[in-house]
Amino acid sequence: MAATTTQSSWHVLSRICAGILGSYLFTWGFVALGATALLAAGLGFHEATDLVSMLGFLIFLTAFCFAFIAASLTRVWLVLAGGGALLTFAGWCLSRSLA
């Protein structure tokens, strides 16, 4: 595919890592903050965790596609990995205040 030659192998590899690892981290953060936020809002334990799990895979899918569609690779890493870390931290803090 001719279009690939305009991107270096490193760029492609970075995109793939961002797509897989970045999306995973972002989803982890989504689940962390999402579940604790729903629990804080009064949802039952199983309700909160089930809902966040179901949505989580759709979030992963969206993040994964975003990693390849977005023009700027830097933005992809910032949003997915950075965002994921932030969401995870926020979720963890919230969980400490709940337990």
Partner 1 sequence: MFANFRLSLTWLHTWFGLVLGFVLMVAFFFGSMSVFDREIDRWSLPQTRIAAQPMPSFDRILAARFAQMTEPDPEQRELAAGRVTQPLPEKLKVTTWSAFTTHRDPVLSMFVGFEVPNSTLPDDQIFGDVTIDPRDGRVLSRDQLPIGSGFFYPMHFSLHISWYGVGYWIVGFAAIAMLAAIVSGVFMHRKIFREFFTFRPTRNLLRSTLDLHNLAGVVALPFHFLWALSGLIIFAGIYFPVIETMMHPLVEQHEREEATHTGLDLEPSGKPGRLSPVDAMVSAAKEKWASRGMPGEVGFLAVTHVGSSNAYVSIYRDSTDRVATAEGMHFDGATGRVIFEDPPVGPVETVNGFLEGMHLQQFRHWTLRWLIFVGGLLSCACIATGFIFYVEKRKRTHARDGHAGSRWVDALAVTTVTGMVVATLSILVVNRLLPENLPQRDLWEMSTFWLVWILTLVHAAWRSSALREARMSKAWPEQCWTIASLALSAAVLNAVTTGDHLGRTLSAGYWPVAGVDLMLLATAGIAAVAARKLQARARARVRDTVADNDTTLEQEPERA
Shortest Cβ distance from residue 40 to partner 1 (Å)? Answer: 11
Helix (H, G, I), strand (E, B) or coil at 14: helix
DSSP 33-98: HHHHHHHHTT--HHHHHHHHHHHHHHHHHHHHHHHHH-S-HHHHHIIIIIHHHHHHHHHHHHHHHH
Q: Which residues bind partner 1 (CB under 8 A)?
A: 1-7, 11-12, 15, 20, 27-28, 31-32, 35-36, 39, 43-47, 49-51, 53-54, 56-58, 60-61, 64-65, 68-70, 88, 91-92, 95, 98-99
Shortest Cβ distance from residue 47 to partner 1 (Å)? Answer: 4
- Of residues 68 and 86, the one with the C-beta less far from partner 1: 68
